[in-house]
Amino acid sequence: MSGALRGIAAFHQSLVALPPTYSMHHKAQLVWAIRHCVTLFFFFFLYGCGLWIGAAQQSVRKAL
Buried b (16+ CB within 10 A) or exposed e, 20-50: eeeeeeeeeeeeeeeeeeeeeeeeeeeeeee
Query: Tens digits of per-residue pLDDT, 7-50?
Result: 777 776 776 666 666 666 777 888 888 888 899 999 999 999 89
- Per-residue model confidence (pLDDT) at position 62: 84
- Per-residue model confidence (pLDDT) at position 20: 61
Q: What is the mean pLDDT of residues 44-59?
A: 90
If one compares 12 and 58, the residue with the highest pLDDT of the two is: 58
- Per-residue model confidence (pLDDT) at position 43: 92
- Compute the distance between CA of residue 40 and CA of residue 43 in angstroms, rounded to an integer: 5
